[in-house]
Amino acid sequence: MATFRQRALNEAAAHKTERYFVDERPVSAYFGQNVFDLPKMRKYMSQPAYEAVLAAIKEGAQIDRKVANEIASGMKAWAVERGATHYTHIFQPLTGTTAEKHEAFITIKDGQAFENFKGSALVQQEPDASSFPSGGLRATFEARGYSAWDPTSPVFLLDETLCIPSVFISYTGEALDMKVPNLKSLAALSTAATAVANLFDKSVKAVKVNIGLEQEYFLVDEALYNARPDLRICDRTVIGHTSAKDQQLSDHYFGAIPQKVVAFMKDFETEAYKLGIDLETRHNEVAPNQFECAPVFCECTKAIDQNMLLMIVMQNVAKKHNLKVLFHEKPFDGINGSGKHCNWSMQTDTGTLLLSPGKTGAKNLQFLAFYAAVTKAVYKHNYLLMSSISTLSNSYRLGGHEAPPAVMSIFSGAYVSGILKSILENDEILEDTSAKNAIKMVNAIPDILQDNTDRNRTSPFAFTGNRFEFRALGSSANAATAVYVLNTAVAESLTEFRKAVDDLEAAGVPRQAAILKTIKKFIDESKNVLFEGNGYSKEWEVESAKRGLKAVKNVPESYKAFIEKDSIKMFEDMGVLTSEETNARYEVLNESYVKKLQIEARVQGDICLNHVIPAAVSYQNILMKDILGAKEAFGEEFKDLCAAEIATYRKIAKFINDISRDVNDLVEARKKANKVEDFAERAKLYSTEVKDMMDKVRYSADHLEMLVDDELWPLPKYRELLFF
C-alpha cells in the first residue's frame, strides 16, 4: 500500500476516544456562562447603560454614544474576569463565512499596564474593505470599511476573546455583509406584518421572525482527511470510487451513534451550551459518517449568528478528537449530501404564532391571511428564492433524490389544502370539526396522536404545522441570504395584502369579507406553486414547467434572478438593498462560483497527474514484469496464461491516456474561460465547459481506482473515509 495512505490509516487506527470538555454540572448550571446576557449586563452596568441596551434589543432603539463608554466598561470588566485578553468585532462578509480582527485590551501609559476598552471601540472598528468581495463597491485603493456593533445579538467569549457581533459596511455606507440586508428585511417584514396583524388585533406593535436551523455534517478522521488533498483544499473529493457498501441498507440513519462521535458531540454541545446555543437534537443521518444537530427556535438574527458560531465551535472541538467536520453539501459522490433546513415562522410581540392554524373558521382567518401572503410571495419570487440557495457546492446535491428538487413548490398538507380548496370553490373556511386523530396501538403502547398534515421531504418549502421548512439551503451556507430574500418577498406580499383589504373596505366591503376576498385572490393567483405530490417524479418535472415554475438547471444562470426588474424593485421598495448593492451581490456570486470551481479543477488536475497516474504506471510496470516473465518461461502460451493481466494493462493504459488528454483539455477550458472579461459569461463557461471536463477526468480516475493494486493506491478510499 502507498506509504502515505498506509501511514494515515495507521494513525487513524491509533486515535483514541476521549472527552476533552467535561462539565459534570447540570447543563442549566453553566448554560450561557460565556455570553454577556441581560442578567450579566444588569450586574456589570449602570442602570442607564443597561436600559439603553435593553431598549436596543427589544425596541430597536439606537444607543447614544455617550452611554457606550459605560457599556464597554461593563463588558470589559466581565470579559477580563474570565481571562479575556482581546476583543473583536465578528462580522459576516460576502465570503459567506465570518471574519474578525482581534485588538488587545492592554494599554501602556507612563510605564504602567492596564486594560482599556472605550465605547468608540465597542461601537465600531475599521477592517480593510477592499480585501473582501464587494462586487465593485470597493476598489483596492478605496480600502476603508466599518464594522459596527449589533446590540440585538449577544456578545460572547471565545478563546479568551470578547466577540462582538457586528455589521460590515463600506466607507460610503453600502452593505458589504450578509447581516445588514437581513436586519433591514426583518424591519420591513415587521412593519408589513404588523399592519396585517392589526386587522385582527390592534394591540400588536411588532412582528419578529423565528427560525431554527438544522445542521447536517460529515465527520472523517483527521489523518485520512490530511491524506486527501481534495478534502483539505476543496472540502470535497474531486475523485473517488463509491464504496461497495454505503447507505443502501439505511442502517446508519437514526442508528446507535458511534462512541467516537458521541464523545465529540457531547464536547461540542458542552461548549455550545456555554455560549447560549440551545441545542436540542443529535442523530445519525442517512449517509455513513453523516450526522445532524438542531437547536431550539429563536429570533432570526440570533439564530443565524449562533449557527455560524456553532460551525466554528464544532471545527475547534473536532481537532481535539482528531476529527474533521465537513460542512460541504456533497463531499462524497454517490451518497446523500448535507443541508441546513431553515424552519421559518412569524410571531407577534403579544405572543401569537401567525402561522399556527386556529380551531374555528374565525380564528383561521388570521392564519390564512398570512399563509396566503407567504404563498403569493413564494410564487412571485420562486426562482429568486431557489437562486438564493444556489451555490456550486449545493448544486452537487439539489435534485439528487436526497434533497429537494431545484424547482420551488409549497407543500401544505391535507388539512390546509382542504381549507384552501374550500375558499377557492365555496368562498368559505372549513371548520376544524374534530380533535387530532389517534392511531390505535397494541397492548400497553399509548395511542399516537396524528398531526393534521404529513411531511413531504421532496418539497423545498413545506408547511409543517406552525412554520414553513425551507429545506433547500446548503449545509455550508450562511442562511442570511436565503432568509433576507424570503423576508423581503413576504414583506412585499403583506404590504400588498393590507392595501388590497383597505381598498375593499374603502369601497364598502365589510372587513371580514374584505380579508376573505383578498385571501382567495392571493391563493388563486399563486395556486400554481402549491403541490402535494412527489417532487422527485418525472411527472412533476413536466408539470412544474407547465405551471411556469422555472427550475435551477445552471447555477450562474440562476443568479440573474437577483438583477431582474421585479427583484430589484422589491429590494428597493422594501428598503433592503439598493440596485447597486443587488448588482454587487450578483457579481460576487458569479466570481465566487468561478473561483471555487477553478480551485477544484486545479486540485483535480494535480491529484491525477501527481498521484493517480504515477500509481497506475507503477502497477503497469508490475503487470509488464509478470507478463514478460511468463513469456520467457512459457513462450507463446503466455498469451493465454496472462490474458487477464494483458487486458488489465490495456485498460489502465487507456485510462491513463484519457486522463492525460482530458486534464490538458481541462486546463485549456479554464484558460479559455479566464480570458472572458464579463464575469457572468466567465461563470457560464466554467459551469458548462470546465465542469464537463472535470466529469470526464473523474470518470477515468475512478475507474483506475478499481483497477490499480490496492497496495499502490495513494489516497484513502471511500470505504476508509466513511466508516470509523
Decide: 402 and 336 in contact? Cβ < 8 Å: yes
Decide: 607 and 197 in contact? Cβ < 8 Å: no
From CA 571, how far away is CA 585, in angstroms rounded? 12
Decide: 159 and 79 in contact? Cβ < 8 Å: no
Q: Which CATH class is domain 215-338?
A: alpha beta
**Average pLDDT rounded to a whole number, residues 398-411:** 85
From CA 608, how far away is CA 617, in angstroms rounded? 12
- Given pLDDT bands bounded at 50, 70 and 90, which one contains residue 466? very high
Distance of CA 606 to the CA centre of its chain: 29
The partner residues of 345 in beta bridges, in order of sequence, read 210
The CATH T-level fold of domain 31-177 is Ubiquitin-like (UB roll) (3.10.20)
From CA 156, how far away is CA 276, in angstroms rounded? 9
pLDDT 10s digits, 62-82: 888 889 999 999 999 999 999
From CA 630, how far away is CA 422, in angstroms rounded? 82
- HEC secondary structure over 260-285: HHHHHHHHHHHHHHHCCCCEEEEEEC
From CA 577, how far away is CA 585, in angstroms rounded? 10
Identity (one letter) of the amino acid at 36?
F
Percent residues over pLDDT 90 in the chain? 84
User: Torsion angle, CA of 170/171/174/177, rounded to 10 degrees?
Assistant: 20
Decide: 607 and 238 in contact? Cβ < 8 Å: yes
Decide: 534 and 447 in contact? Cβ < 8 Å: no
Please give the residue that has the higher pLDDT: either 61 or 87: 87
CA angle, residues 205, 365, 492, in degrees to nearest 5: 55
pLDDT-wise least confident of 386-395, 417-426, 690-699, 703-712:
417-426
pLDDT of residue 422: 86
pLDDT of residue 684: 96
Decide: 86 and 161 in contact? Cβ < 8 Å: yes
CATH 1.20.120.1560 describes domain 592-721: yes
pLDDT of residue 444: 66
pLDDT of residue 452: 63
CA distances from 22 to 221, 266, 310 (A): 22, 8, 18
pLDDT of residue 62: 86
From CA 479, how far away is CA 470, in angstroms rounded? 10
From CA 685, how far away is CA 594, in angstroms rounded? 9
pLDDT of residue 405: 87
Identity (one letter) of the amino acid at 73?
S
pLDDT of residue 433: 44
From CA 468, how far away is CA 465, in angstroms rounded? 8
> Where is 494: in which H helix or E strand?
helix 480-506
The yes-or-no verdict on residue 662 having pLDDT over 80 is yes
- Write the DSSP string, 87-111: EEEEE-BTTSS-EEEEEESEEEETT
State how beta strands 410-411 and 461-463 pair. parallel
Identity (one letter) of the amino acid at 14?
A
From CA 80, how far away is CA 572, in angstroms rounded? 43
CA distances from 389 to 118, 403, 592 (A): 39, 12, 14
The yes-or-no verdict on residue 435 having pLDDT over 70 is no
The partner residues of 291 in beta bridges, in order of sequence, read 217, 284
From CA 649, how far away is CA 624, in angstroms rounded? 8
- Given pLDDT bands bounded at 50, 70 and 90, which one contains residue 375? very high
User: Torsion angle, CA of 680/683/688/692, rounded to 10 degrees?
Assistant: 170
- Given pLDDT bands bounded at 50, 70 and 90, which one contains residue 439? low
From CA 301, how far away is CA 477, in angstroms rounded? 15
pLDDT 10s digits, 691-712: 999 999 999 999 999 999 999 9
The yes-or-no verdict on residue 428 having pLDDT over 90 is no
Task: Identify the three-state secondary structure at position 470.
Answer: strand
pLDDT of residue 143: 78
The yes-or-no verdict on residue 7 having pLDDT over 90 is yes
From CA 517, how far away is CA 497, in angstroms rounded? 10
From CA 413, how far away is CA 421, in angstroms rounded? 12
C-alpha cell at 699: 470518470
pLDDT of residue 724: 87
C-alpha cell at 516: 376573505
pLDDT 10s digits, 233-253: 999 999 999 999 999 999 999
Task: Identify the three-state secondary structure at position 136.
Answer: coil
Angle between helices 691-707 and 643-674 (to 10 degrees): 160
Task: Identify the three-state secondary structure at position 203.
Answer: coil
The partner residues of 165 in beta bridges, in order of sequence, read 90
Q: Average model confidence (pLDDT) for the chain?
A: 93
Task: Identify the three-state secondary structure at position 698.
Answer: helix
Decide: 158 and 177 in contact? Cβ < 8 Å: no
Which range among 108-122, 152-166, 362-376, 442-456 has the greatest average pLDDT? 152-166
What is the maximum span of the chain, computed from C-alpha positions, in angstroms?
A: 105
Total residues found in the chain within this entry: 724
State how beta strands 86-91 and 161-170 pair. parallel
- Given pLDDT bands bounded at 50, 70 and 90, which one contains residue 3? confident
The yes-or-no verdict on residue 434 having pLDDT over 50 is no
Decide: 345 and 466 in contact? Cβ < 8 Å: yes
From CA 107, how far away is CA 662, in angstroms rounded? 59
CB neighbourhood size of 546 (10 A): 8
The yes-or-no verdict on residue 445 having pLDDT over 70 is no
CA distances from 251 to 58, 241, 339, 485 (A): 47, 21, 20, 38
Q: Among residues 656, 698, 648, which one has the least CA distance to residue 242?
A: 698
From CA 624, how far away is CA 614, in angstroms rounded? 15
pLDDT 10s digits, 145-198: 999 999 989 999 999 999 999 999 999 999 999 999 999 999 999 999 999 999
The yes-or-no verdict on residue 272 having pLDDT over 80 is yes
- Given pLDDT bands bounded at 50, 70 and 90, which one contains residue 340? very high
Give residue limits of the domains in the chain. Answer: 31-177, 178-213+343-435+446-577, 215-338, 592-721
pLDDT of residue 442: 64
CB neighbourhood size of 135 (10 A): 21
